[in-house]
DNA sequence: TTAATTTTGCAACATAGTTGCTTTTAGATA
DNA sequence: TATCTAAAAGCAACTATGTTGCAAAATTAA
């Protein structure tokens, strides 16, 4: 219980550190991201919070977290938006995510492979690269 | 005019070759893909055909083309679905697209970089790779 | 030309996301 | 601790995107 309390205290501190006021929805949603190994969709968050928060609140919370560099979005081939926690290097306005994403076609979970950096790509002449998004699809280590 | 006629004749032949009946919407939409250097979204097709076809017809035509290996879909970070013509190697059921996609943040066009193959990725132990999707973002050669 | 089959268009529906406005809450201040 | 102000949440209404069932129209085969 002490650890649980300090956990929640840490979540509040984390929000304050990012210059966000500490509200129930922000605490709950951030907690979900911290406890979750994979990425979350808007619908997941709605369910996992027991539909306690309005849909709009969840949309706005995700938007805020994105802007503050707390989470990043992951594009998927079936065109659903997923979100996952950023590591240390992201900040307000600037996302520095150079890792690739892995979607397991068995368990449907999506993971940030933080240890696997995006590769160097040689583009044809005349193209200037700003950002590279790599999404791998296959079977994860739990489902293999 | 002879060339235009033969162009349309070729489009019909192309459809027949893929065992599809030749209809107005299929001809028009396929023509768009052939004449277009970049990728197309559902909304683009609706506009470029002068809203002549029902939304549902366009959805179903795209679905049919996907299944027949005529076009492939491209995931984007803003979560819109784009479609582009497949090259020779795709066929009914099986898409063999190993190229990367490039989104220009200036002109908003998306291109298939057919000459640029997806790189080899080394995944962490335990992950099995099936498919790799690489989307590059930056400035295209027309906008640089 | 006709008949069978496929495709289209329409209506109704479902889901995802946005916007304006009011009420509630958090954080600052007295 | 009580009060005030700014920010956030909730609500309703709306748009955009995509799906499904069915009747009408078009395509292909006979
Ligand atoms: Mn990630
Ligand atoms: Mn392509
Ligand atoms: Zn899995
Ligand atoms: Zn461009």
Q: Name the closest residue (CA) to the C1' of nucleotide C5.
A: B21
Lowest mean pLDDT among A33-42, A50-59, A116-125, B1-10: B1-10
SS3 A31: helix
Q: Which of A102, A121, A141, A144 to mutate to test the interface with B (most CBs of B within 10 A)?
A: A121
Separation between the CA of A16 and the C1’ of D30 (whole angstroms): 77
Separation between the CA of A55 and the C1’ of D11 (whole angstroms): 11
Q: What is the pLDDT of residue B130?
A: 92
Name the more confident of A25 and A90. Answer: A25
Q: What is the pLDDT of residue A52?
A: 92
- Residues recorded for chain A: 144
Q: Name the pLDDT band for A6 (thresholds 50, 70, 90).
A: low
> Token digits for A65?
């977290």
pTM exceeds 0.85 for this model? yes
Decide: CB of B106 under 7 A of nucleic strand D: no
Place of tokens 């997806």: B118
| Nearest to B127, CA basis, from A140, A101, A115, A112 | A140
Q: How far apart are CA A85 and CA A99, in angstroms?
A: 12
**CATH ID of B2-138, from 3.40.640.10, 1.10.287.610, 1.20.20.10, 1.10.10.10:** 1.10.10.10
User: Is the pLDDT reported for residue B124 higher than 60?
Assistant: yes
Average pLDDT over all residues of chain A: 90
> Token digits for A117?
């950096």
Q: State the greatest distance between any 2 C-alpha atoms of chain A, in Å, as a whole number.
A: 59
Each residue of A112-135: pLDDT tens digit?
999 898 999 999 999 999 999 999
Question: B55-76 as b/e, with b when 16 or more CB fall inside 10 Å?
Answer: eebbeebbeebbebbbbbbbbb
The 10 Å Cβ neighbour count of residue A95 is: 16
What's the first-to-final CA gap in chain B, in angstroms?
A: 36
DSSP string, B58-85: HHHHHHHHHHTTSEEEEE-TT--EEEEE
CA distances from B60 to B16, B25, B34, B118 (A): 17, 10, 19, 29
Q: What are phi and psi of B28, to 5 degrees?
A: -60, -45
What angle is formed at CA B32 by the lines to CA B137 and CA B70, rounded to 5 degrees?
Answer: 80
Residue ranges of the domains in chain B?
Answer: 2-138
Cα A36 off chain centre by: 10
CA distances from B127 to A31, A110, A118, A123 (A): 27, 12, 16, 27
Distance from CA of A26 to the nearest CA of B (A): 23
Q: Which of A100, A107, A124, A140 to mutate to test the interface with B (most CBs of B within 10 A)?
A: A124
Q: Which helix (H) or strand (E) holds A64?
A: helix A55-67
CB-based neighbours (< 5 A) of ligand 1, an ion: A 84, 112
Q: What are phi and psi of A100, to 5 degrees?
A: -100, 165
Q: How far apart are CA B54 and CA B42, in angstroms?
A: 11
Q: What is the pLDDT of residue A95?
A: 73
Residues of chain A with C-beta less than 8 angstroms from the C-beta of B75: 75-77, 79, 135
């Amino acid at each position: 219980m002490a650890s649980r309390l300090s956990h929640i205290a840490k979540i509040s501190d984390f929000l304050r550190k990012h210059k966000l006021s500490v509200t129930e929805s922000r605490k709950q949603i951030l907690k979900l991201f911290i406890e979750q190994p994979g990425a979350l969709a808007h619908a997941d968050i709605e369910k996992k919070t027991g539909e306690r928060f309005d849909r709009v609140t969840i949309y706005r919370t995700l938007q805020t977290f994105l802007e503050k560099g707390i989470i990043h979005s992951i594009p998927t081939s079936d065109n659903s938006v997923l979100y996952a926690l950023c590591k240390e290097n992201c900040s307000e306005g600037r996302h520095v995510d150079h890792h690739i994403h892995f979607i397991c076609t068995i368990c449907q979970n999506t993971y940030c492979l933080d240890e696997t950096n995006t590769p160097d790509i040689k583009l044809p002449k005349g193209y200037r690269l700003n950002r590279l998004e790599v999404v791998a699809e296959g079977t994860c280590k739990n489902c293999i």
